[in-house]
Amino acid sequence: MVNGRAAADRTPPRCFRRRTVTGLTPCCHRSCAGLIDFALPAPGLCSAKSSTGEGNMAFEPELTKREAAIAETARRFAAEEVAPHAARWEKDRVYPAETQRRAADAGLTGLLVPESEGGHGLSLTGACRVFEELAAACMPFAFGLIVHDNLMGNIARNGSEAQRRALLPDMLACRRIGTFLLTEPGMGSDATAVACRAVADDGGWRLEGEKAWISSAAHADVLSVYAQADPEQGWRGVMCFLVEAGRPGVSRVGPYDLAGGHALGAGGFRFDGVRLTEADVLLPQERAFRAAMSGIDAARIFVGGMSVGMMRASLDRAVSYVKERQAFGRRIADFQGVQWMLADVETDLEASRLLTYRAAALVDAGRDATRAAAHAKKFATRAALHRIADCMQVMGANGLRLEEPAARHLASAKIGQYIDGATEIQNVVLARALLGS
């Protein structure tokens, strides 16, 4: 089974032998019976023509026909509904709620929600491919949908029947937007340091505290709030509640003024004596924090996919620009320094894709992807920040214009280095696994 679906659902690959760093190994697709160690595809398999050069072949993850169709829908939607408006969203600090609803109408929500609950039930690889396409146009828009989709998946897996019936239909249609509230003003990277309190009170709880750096805070109305119910138990005392943003005692903070990424609507929430009952509990003590951490590998893989999308869009634009722009009597593309700079961008882009979709394949195969996800996020976000800047550089001062995708993507690439664990946290994860500490 692949993410709850039969591996036979995928187009059967041709078995072949392929070269890895240790030599030749048997075919190891998820739909084959062999190993699932990752290697480069043979010619003609799992590849797609690059948009940045005739005859170039860029790695393309293996998708079902249905997943490929949804990814193509995402590509068209991004080109027609997101890219034409992304610069205005940034300039005017607009939260694109209406475009989110159009994305739902196009079938781009509920990617990780089971079909039995009205979603698509895609593999992680398939979902990542969709978000890569959306991020190529606007990373903050894509990330807002990721957070929304992740909460829907959480409700579908862990919510009561009443919660699923009350919330999922409107959330799938983006009539209601959900978000994840774990981070707090004084928490930083220590996810266990939850200070927001769920104080036992008259058979229920009273919610007190503040959350910070929340995606879609400007507009979200379904909040998954992680709060400490038993401080003596540490992380085991944390619970997760579903709270409507319009309840008495809930107030919004922000949205924040940032260097970029304003379509994300990042901000915070304060809770002042918000009354909660058993019906509001999504996850009880012990399970809540484990559930929050269990999704972190997928979250990091999605950040890698978004970084790939931003780099790809920036490289495509830079290649187009240098082929048309003249300097010193010839095309900028004819200067070797520019050629080598863009060649380096493509190398890091391909490496980022390989790391990201290798990690996604491990998750879909039911294997431990913690290290692979950390490698993917760390490398892809570092590469995106560096290489998007290179794409801007070959465009000269024109690369700074807000209407150019690289200018917006540069700030979003920096955002990618913070969300779902900062770059330094990825190094902590990797060092612990490497050194056994």
Summarised one tens digit per residue, pLDDT across range 323-337 is: 999 999 999 999 999
Lowest mean pLDDT among 14-23, 45-54, 244-253: 14-23
pLDDT for the residue numbered 418:
94
pLDDT for the residue numbered 189:
79
Give yes or no: residues 186 and 274 share one domain. yes
pLDDT for the residue numbered 99:
97
Q: Domain containing 305 — which CATH number?
A: 1.20.140.10
pLDDT band at 75 (very low <50, low <70, confident <90, very high): very high
Give yes or no: residues 86 and 187 share one domain. no
Q: Is the pLDDT of residue 34 over 90?
A: no
Give yes or no: residues 285 and 296 share one domain. no
Tokens of 316: 């495509």
pLDDT more than 90, % of the chain: 80
Where does a domain end: 291, 319, 341?
291
Q: Is the pLDDT of residue 188 over 80?
A: no
pLDDT for the residue numbered 403:
87
Q: Domain containing 135 — which CATH number?
A: 1.10.540.10
pLDDT for the residue numbered 16:
27
Give yes or no: residues 250 and 167 share one domain. no
Q: Is the pLDDT of residue 31 over 70?
A: no
Lowest mean pLDDT among 26-35, 118-127, 139-148, 423-432: 26-35
pLDDT for the residue numbered 193:
87
- Kindly report the backbone phi and psi dihedral angles of residue 242, in degrees, each rounded to the nearest multiple of 5, phi listed first: -95, 120
Closest CA to 147 of 180, 98, 102: 180
Give yes or no: residues 304 and 345 share one domain. yes
Domain range for 116 is 65-175
Question: What single string gives the DSSP state of each residue in 331-389?
Answer: EGGGSHHHHHHHHHHHHHHHHHHHHHHHHHHHHHTT---HHHHHHHHHHHHHHHHHHHH
Q: Using alpha carbons only, what angle is made at residue 190 by residues 186 and 196, rounded to the nearest 5 degrees? A: 50
Domain assignment of residue 299, yes or no: yes
pLDDT for the residue numbered 40:
35
Q: What share of the chain is helix, strand, coil (3-state, %, to 5)?
A: 50, 15, 30
Q: What is the mean pLDDT of residues 352-366?
A: 96
Domain assignment of residue 405, yes or no: yes
Average pLDDT over the chain reads 87
Domain assignment of residue 225, yes or no: yes
3-state secondary structure string across 128-163: HHHHHHHHHHCHHHHHHHHHHHHHHHHHHHHCCHHH
Using CA of residue 292, residue 296, residue 298, residue 299, what is the dihedral sign?
positive
Give yes or no: residues 312 and 429 share one domain. yes
Domain assignment of residue 159, yes or no: yes
Give yes or no: residues 301 and 406 share one domain. yes
pLDDT for the residue numbered 367:
95
* Beta-bridge partners for 327: 330
Domain assignment of residue 8, yes or no: no
Where does a domain end: 129, 144, 175?
175
pLDDT band at 254 (very low <50, low <70, confident <90, very high): confident
Closest CA to 122 of 181, 40, 61: 61
Q: Domain containing 195 — which CATH number?
A: 2.40.110.10
Domain assignment of residue 430, yes or no: yes
Give yes or no: residues 330 and 421 share one domain. yes
Q: What is the mean pLDDT of residues 15-36?
A: 32
Lowest mean pLDDT among 20-24, 65-69, 192-196, 331-335: 20-24
Residue-wise pLDDT for 195-248, tens only, equals 999 999 988 999 999 999 999 999 999 999 999 999 999 999 999 999 999 999
Give yes or no: residues 220 and 340 share one domain. no
Where does a domain end: 175, 193, 223?
175
Give yes or no: residues 73 and 116 share one domain. yes
Please tell me the pTM assigned to this model: 0.85
pLDDT for the residue numbered 50:
46
Give yes or no: residues 335 and 429 share one domain. yes
pLDDT for the residue numbered 358:
96
pLDDT for the residue numbered 6:
40
pLDDT for the residue numbered 375:
97
Q: Is the pLDDT of residue 408 over 50?
A: yes
Domain assignment of residue 49, yes or no: no
pLDDT band at 38 (very low <50, low <70, confident <90, very high): very low
Q: Which residue has the higher pLDDT, 171 or 33?
A: 171
pLDDT for the residue numbered 45:
29
Domain assignment of residue 11, yes or no: no
Tokens of 324: 């048309």
pLDDT for the residue numbered 402:
87
Nearest-angstrom CA–CA distance, 355 and 376:
5
Give yes or no: residues 313 and 212 share one domain. no
Contact (CB, 8 A) for 222 and 250 = no
